[in-house]
Amino acid sequence: MKYKLTHKTEYKYAEPVNNYHSLVCLTPRTLPKQLCQDFTITVSPEPSQIVERVDFYGNTTHYFSLHSPHKTLTVLTTSVVECLTETTGDPLTKSYITCEEARFRFKEERALKISLLEYILPSPLVKWDQEICDFAKDCFKDDRPLYSCVQALCTKIFTEFDFVPDFSTINTPIKEVLAAKKGVCQDFSHLAIACIRGFGFAARYVSGYLETLPPPGKQKMQGSDASHAWISVFIPDYGWCDFDPTNNVVPGERHIITAWGRDYSDVPPLKGIIFSYGKHALKVEVDVIPLL
Amino acid sequence: MLTEASVNLLQSYQSGIDSYDEILDVNGLVKPHWRALFSTMEKLGLDELKIRNQEIISKLRENGVTYNVYESPDGMNRPWQLDPIPFLIEQKEWNGIAKGLQQRALLLDLILRDIYGPRNLVKDAVIPAELVFDNTGFCRPCVDIKLPASRQLMLYAADMARGPDGQMWILDRRTQAPSGSGYCLENRIVMSKLIPELADGMYVSKLSPFFNSLQNTVLRLSDKSKDAPNIVYLTPGPNNEAYFEHAYLASYLGYTLAQGDDLMVRNGFVWLKSIDGLQKVDVIIRRIDDDWCDPLELREDSRLGVPGLLQAIRMGNVQVLNPPGSSVLENHAFLAFMENICQYFLGEKLIMPSVATWWCGHKKELNYVVNHIDELIIKKANRKSRFRSIYGRLLTKSKKAELIAMISAHPHEYIAQQEVSLSTTPSLIDGNIVPRYAALRAFLVADENGYHVMQGGLTRSSPVKDRFVISNQYGGLSKDTWIVSDKTDVAQEKIVLNAPASVNRHISLPSRSAENLFWVGRYCERTMAVIKFMNITINVLNLDRNFGGSAKQEHIKFLLQSLTHLSSTYPGFIDEDDLLLDPYPEIIDLVSNHNRPGTIAANIGAFLNSVSAVRNQWDLEIWRIVDHIDKGYHEIKNASSMNSNNIQKTLDGLYNNMFMFLGVISESMPRDNSFLLLETGKLIERILSRVSVIQSNFGVKNAESVENELIEATLINHHLLVNYRQIYKSQLSVEAMLDMVLLEKRLPFSIVYMLDELKKNLGKLPSTTRGERLNDAQKSVLEASTLVKLASISALSKCDKNLERIDLFHLLSEISRLISSVSFSLTNMYFSHTMMQHSFFNPVDNDKDEI
């Protein structure tokens, strides 16, 4: 499957902004199962330079700064992404490695431990306690395959939680989400990661896009897609396997990967430091358009 | 005459020793240099030593040496504590210590480069992966931050103390922005000035080679194509505990002291916002911690750093030392692995031992810690966690079990250290020389060959007996540290500046400093203007009360009302008849109430704040005067308990000291932009205050007897009474007075003179007009000065049928408006960028850089 991807972010400020520094993390990754072509980034007003960098996790970021007064800022990224697997994402053969065995191998295999440790430890936005572990207790059994335990967790989150867009911000603690049983994809991903790490496994945060399908018989609306977040869990012998707790699916060709890290704080799509007082309004439009 | 009862200082000290002590060698004999020091102190006498100690205390106070203590109830600045008895280490022993320190520095540099590079230490199982990935100092955005030098760790400080085996042991280290070297320097300077005899008969190594070495290192890092690289010393600001040191070192080393928002990143370069516009920065020596360096990529809530800084470093456009990310080395757990790391990298043993340390993340070590908890101090491996060290032996049984449970739940987060006894050293406490625990911080800087060790250091000793409390946060004392030898011909390193002497002829003035200097001038003059007129008024009041009978005279009312106008402390004497009947309470409030804007106390407070915000601008003479002003400030805040005589005496003292402040500045300050801005602020305030008094005194015509009193007061206010009498004898006329105070060009307090001076000053300041000859400020002054010069004195003196002197009133209002607009224009032109992100941040969980 091939998609044309556009992501437009627009800030409108009440007071002119004189200086602005920004870091953008919106370039789809090129991976064995995904190819990114023709990536462009356009910023208005135009900065004197846009600097590309590959970060600690291999994600591509862009840095720019603006130094003349402006009241509107637009960042537009476009790319063509080809997903090379036409599967649903489920592994062809199921993994039967049990939780107990997985945990043992993380501890005993040095190279594995080194590469996974930071995804097992708490991270800036993902911390856990007994209450969070209790929530996932019935999903993780030592003698069951890790893969199906994670699937059970995602199903549990999917069925017990409501998707409510404006309930949370990126600063809402996991515990609050757990108590309210509602949130958005970031919250569900953080919660899932906390549970998985709480039981001693490695999980990371994946940031990207999801192609949405219009209701049957209706035309797809422009700007109706959104950036999305899900998780990836390390299954010994299989490697990193993606799960989407928000939709209770195994990510496949409709999931486009931009970046991964320990949690959201490693890969915010766009962050900036502003030198101004006053309010601002934000508008984001994302389109994931299938190309035939 | 010798008295038999005289007790030998050394003997009496020795009898108090109950642990191993610095003055004794392994055989229990007094070391020769300590013996020499004691005999010198003997000669000096304990009483003299106490006197010198007092002198040291007041000298440090005068020099403004402070160490801010967070959350202290009595305000922030705490005088630096220096014990007059130095800490002695023999040169030969020190050479061995220096070798050990150099090896440590080398190792730490190798670790730093490995962690932000191939991470072989982890791959080859020399250290556990937790030391990198569970280390809050490991900054992922810093993996591609590199200095263009063979070493990355440029500055390093090591804390040491003497262990029971007689050797120096390493206790701790600082690798981000080590503090303390400036206090060493100040300690040495004060000691050599006030108690030079102590060094009789020995040779004390110099500290300056260390700083020369630092300057060379910085120079090597800076842009080689420039003869005068722009080097910035980056401080978190006056709220930081060691701000004194930042300002002190910046001016000693000749670098520009700046805060985060004095700098900005633009087009990948770092720029200093100065009143000459933006100036490119080549090297930054930072005194802010890693996390706070760049809000874009590190702590988002940091107001101390510079957004975009990391990117500018990556692009090679600026060098920062130590490079951000070096806090990774401050994790306590490294101490447990240093021996293995040394073997791994260098294939040799550590020269200096560290205090025994166990990382609890391994089973065997955890078991050891649990079984020996009574002998251990428990800490978190990550320094940034708010966790006070726990002494196992001080815990009750149940607390101990709790602690063990806590460690066992997350063993990799904890380390344990042997609780070692440390050596004691002679300290002057309450007038007696007694043994106290001490520890020493040593300083290293990377140079071309390796690491240069400062020949000295910062010794801290505990003020309390048998306890090891040395942090300055908790009242520790500091000591000068002497590396001593008999001969003066110890091979002295010759310091050669390896670049042609680079002279920064143009010193850029950061906008924030510029603004503070401007306000130093304004507040100084504002305070003086109010004091001056207050004194005039009190004198008249006293005269009236004591010699004029009970009837209040009309002119007193005008003087009191002028005082209200002048200080903008409305309503004051304007509408309040009660106050006029008994003016003293209001006068005392005008003197002492530091919470009421416009009062003398409030103005001095503001003055002192501005002065300390640019403390790197002042030399010692000025600090001495500022200290006196500070004392006067504390006195007048209590003026309500003083009688009017004493109030006047204190006010006179304050006035004289402020005059002296201006005098020293005008005699000694370089005629650069700093001086011009201070002068400009002073002149603006002087003009506004004089105009205000003339306006309220003579805006309305009064009976001649009243006017005569007002004329006299006004002339005194302009320092002109003597001059007037010489010319006009005793004849007082409004016309003659106005002619003099407004138009006489040779009188420094006449309006015309001050306007002309202001015009000259503005002409010398850098101007940012586009295409026009004069900027807005210059235009306003020119207009004001022209208006005055064209004025007709006879027209000004006339009044209309309501007795109002309309022309005079209008002219003075216009001057006032124009001169106020000058201040506004200057703010826009030079200081506007300081308003953007001006914020004082309370240290949240900012790691305290304790020294």
Task: Give the model's pLDDT for residue B387.
Answer: 85
Which tokens hold the place of B111?
Answer: 């670790």
Residue B505 within any structural domain of the chain: no
Q: Domain A99-265 belongs to what architecture?
A: Roll (3.10)
Residue B848's pLDDT band (boundaries 50, 70, 90)? Answer: very low
Q: Is the pTM of this model over 0.90?
A: no
Residues of A within 8 A of B265 (CB-CB) are: 21, 65
Which tokens hold the place of B502?
Answer: 């680079």
Task: Give the model's pLDDT for residue B496.
Answer: 45
Q: Is A127 on the interface with B (CB under 8 A)?
A: no
Task: Give the model's pLDDT for residue B841.
Answer: 28
B396 and B252 co-located in one domain = no
Inspect the interface and report whether the beta carbons of B125 and A110 lie closer than 8 Å: yes
3-state SS class at A269:
coil
B239 and B363 co-located in one domain = no
Report the gap between the CA of A273 and the closest CA in chain B (Å). Answer: 6
Pairs from B649-656 (Cβ < 8 Å, separation ≥ 24) = B651/B531, B651/B534, B651/B535, B651/B591, B651/B600, B652/B535, B653/B628, B654/B527, B654/B531, B654/B600, B654/B604, B654/B629, B655/B528, B655/B531, B655/B532, B655/B535
Domain boundaries, chain A: 2-84+268-291, 99-265
Closest CA to B696 of B785, B603, B813: B813
**pLDDT for B500 beyond 50:** no
Q: Between B721 and B227, whose confidence is greater?
A: B721
**pLDDT for B323 beyond 90:** yes
Inspect the interface and report whether the beta carbons of A18 and B315 lie closer than 8 Å: no
Q: What is the mean pLDDT of residues B406-412?
A: 94
Report the gap between the CA of A189 and the closest CA in chain B (Å). Answer: 22
CA atoms within 13 A on the CB side of B572: 24
Q: pLDDT in tens for each of the 292 residues of chain A?
A: 899 999 999 999 888 888 899 999 999 999 988 999 999 999 999 999 999 999 999 999 999 999 888 899 999 999 999 988 765 556 667 788 999 999 999 988 999 999 999 999 999 999 999 999 999 999 999 999 999 999 999 999 999 999 888 788 877 889 999 999 999 999 999 999 999 999 999 999 999 999 888 777 777 766 667 889 999 999 998 899 999 999 998 888 889 999 999 999 999 999 988 876 667 888 889 999 888 6
B50 and B174 co-located in one domain = yes
Q: Is B266 on the interface with A (CB under 8 A)?
A: yes
Strand partners, A177: none
Amino acid (1-letter code) at residue B161: A
**pLDDT for B566 beyond 70:** yes
- CATH fold, domain A2-84+268-291, is Immunoglobulin-like (2.60.40)
B557 and B702 co-located in one domain = no
**pLDDT for B843 beyond 60:** no
d(C-alpha B259, C-alpha B280), whole Å: 15
Closest CA to B238 of B631, B670, B608, B672: B608
Residue of B266, B412, B413 best to disrupt the A interface, most CBs of A under 10 A: B266
Inspect the interface and report whether the beta carbons of A67 and B133 lie closer than 8 Å: no
Q: What is the mean pLDDT of residues B570-586?
A: 84
Q: What is the number of structural domains in chain B?
A: 5
Task: Give the model's pLDDT for residue B846.
Answer: 35
d(C-alpha B262, C-alpha B234), whole Å: 9
What is the b/e burial string over B152-188, where b = at least 16 CB atoms within 10 angstroms of the residue's CB?
A: bbbbbbbbbbbbeeeebbbbbbbbbbbbbbbbbbbbb
Inspect the interface and report whether the beta carbons of A65 and B265 lie closer than 8 Å: yes
B519 and B641 co-located in one domain = yes
Average pLDDT, chain B: 88
Q: Is A271 on the interface with B (CB under 8 A)?
A: yes
Task: Give the model's pLDDT for residue B278.
Answer: 87
Task: Give the residue carrying structure tokens 């942090």.
Answer: B471
Taking only the tens place, the pLDDT of each residue in B345-373 is 999 999 999 999 999 999 999 999 999 99
Pairs from B752-758 (Cβ < 8 Å, separation ≥ 24) = B752/B785, B752/B788, B752/B789, B754/B683, B754/B686, B754/B687, B754/B690, B755/B687, B755/B781, B755/B784, B755/B785, B755/B788, B755/B815, B756/B785, B757/B679, B757/B683, B758/B680, B758/B683, B758/B684, B758/B687, B758/B819, B758/B822
Residues of A within 8 A of B119 (CB-CB) are: 114
Residue of B119, B121, B140 best to disrupt the A interface, most CBs of A under 10 A: B140
Residue B644's pLDDT band (boundaries 50, 70, 90)? Answer: confident
∠ CA B607-B613-B619, rounded to 5°: 85
CATH number of B386's domain: 3.30.1490.270
Q: Is B140 on the interface with A (CB under 8 A)?
A: yes
The DSSP code for B829 is I
Amino acid (1-letter code) at residue B241: E
CA atoms within 13 A on the CB side of B626: 25
Task: For B309, name the nearest residue in chain A, comparing CA atoms only.
Answer: A21
**Where would I find the H helices in chain A?**
99-108, 110-120, 130-136, 146-160, 174-180, 185-198
User: A243 to each of A82, A188, A195, B730, how far by Cα in Å?
Assistant: 20, 11, 14, 100
User: A59 to each of A55, A78, B133, B188, B408, how far by Cα in Å?
Assistant: 5, 16, 19, 52, 36
d(C-alpha B744, C-alpha B755), whole Å: 12
Q: Is B265 on the interface with A (CB under 8 A)?
A: yes
Task: For A270, name the nearest residue in chain B, comparing CA atoms only.
Answer: B296
Strands B168-174 and B82-90 turn out to be unpaired
B307 and B366 co-located in one domain = no
Inspect the interface and report whether the beta carbons of B311 and A67 lie closer than 8 Å: no
Q: How many CB atoms lie within 10 A of CB A93?
A: 7
User: B181 to each of B157, B250, B320, B494, B615, how far by Cα in Å?
Assistant: 9, 12, 18, 21, 18
Residue B94 within any structural domain of the chain: yes
How would DSSP label each residue in A79-123?
A: EEEEE---S-S--SS----BHHHHHHHHHH-HHHHHHHHHHHS-B
Task: Give the model's pLDDT for residue B291.
Answer: 93
d(C-alpha B110, C-alpha B696), whole Å: 73
Amino acid (1-letter code) at residue A26: L
Q: Which of B123, B133, B265 sits opposite A121 (nearest CB)?
A: B133
Inspect the interface and report whether the beta carbons of A49 and B268 lie closer than 8 Å: yes
Closest CA to B656 of B521, B532, B518: B532
Residue B845's pLDDT band (boundaries 50, 70, 90)? Answer: very low
Residues of A within 8 A of B266 (CB-CB) are: 65, 67
Residue B543's pLDDT band (boundaries 50, 70, 90)? Answer: confident
Inspect the interface and report whether the beta carbons of A51 and B268 lie closer than 8 Å: yes
Report the gap between the CA of B415 and the closest CA in chain A (Å). Answer: 18
Residue of B122, B133, B138, B845 best to disrupt the A interface, most CBs of A under 10 A: B133
Inspect the interface and report whether the beta carbons of B141 and A55 lie closer than 8 Å: yes
Say which residues have a Cβ less than 8 Å from residue B490's Cβ, sequence separation at least 6: B91, B203, B205
- Pair B190, B60: CB distance under 8 Å: yes
**pLDDT for B71 beyond 80:** no
Task: Give the model's pLDDT for residue B472.
Answer: 61
d(C-alpha A208, C-alpha A33), whole Å: 14
User: B745 to each of B429, B732, B784, B791, how far by Cα in Å?
Assistant: 61, 20, 15, 14
- Pair B48, B22: CB distance under 8 Å: no
Task: Give the model's pLDDT for residue B643.
Answer: 78
d(C-alpha B31, C-alpha B493), whole Å: 27
B249 and B197 co-located in one domain = no
Closest CA to A155 of A253, A243, A257: A243
Residue B851 within any structural domain of the chain: no
Inspect the interface and report whether the beta carbons of A272 and B296 lie closer than 8 Å: yes
Taking only the tens place, the pLDDT of each residue in B291-303 is 999 999 998 888 8
Q: Measure CA of the first residue to CA of the last residue in chain B; give whole Å.
A: 45
Task: Give the model's pLDDT for residue B245.
Answer: 92
Say which residues have a Cβ less than 8 Å from residue A51's Cβ, sequence separation at least 6: A62, A63, A64, B268, B311, B315
3-state SS class at B315:
coil
Taking only the tens place, the pLDDT of each residue in B112-136 is 999 999 999 999 999 999 999 999 9
Report the gap between the CA of A170 and the closest CA in chain B (Å). Answer: 14
d(C-alpha B794, C-alpha B780), whole Å: 25
B803 and B725 co-located in one domain = yes
Q: Which of B129, B267, B268 sits opposite A117 (nearest CB)?
A: B129
Which tokens hold the place of B196?
Answer: 């030079």
Residue B472 within any structural domain of the chain: yes
B189 and B247 co-located in one domain = no
B282 and B368 co-located in one domain = no
∠ CA B255-B256-B261, rounded to 5°: 145
Residue B97 within any structural domain of the chain: yes
Residue B833's pLDDT band (boundaries 50, 70, 90)? Answer: low
Looking at chain A from residue 44 to 73, which residues have their Cβ under 8 Å from any Cβ of chain B? Answer: 48-49, 51, 53, 55-57, 63, 65, 67
Report the gap between the CA of B410 and the closest CA in chain A (Å). Answer: 11
Inspect the interface and report whether the beta carbons of A23 and B296 lie closer than 8 Å: yes
Q: Is B297 on the interface with A (CB under 8 A)?
A: yes
d(C-alpha B686, C-alpha B815), whole Å: 12
Give the length of chain B: 851
**Where would I find the H helices in B699-770?**
704-717, 721-728, 734-738, 751-764
Task: Give the model's pLDDT for residue B467.
Answer: 73
B34 and B162 co-located in one domain = yes
Residue range(s) defining the domain that contains residue B750: 671-832
Inspect the interface and report whether the beta carbons of A55 and B140 lie closer than 8 Å: yes
Q: Is A4 on the interface with B (CB under 8 A)?
A: no
Report the gap between the CA of B157 and the closest CA in chain A (Å). Answer: 29
Q: Is B129 on the interface with A (CB under 8 A)?
A: yes
B166 and B270 co-located in one domain = no
Q: Is B311 on the interface with A (CB under 8 A)?
A: yes
Report the complex ipTM.
Answer: 0.94
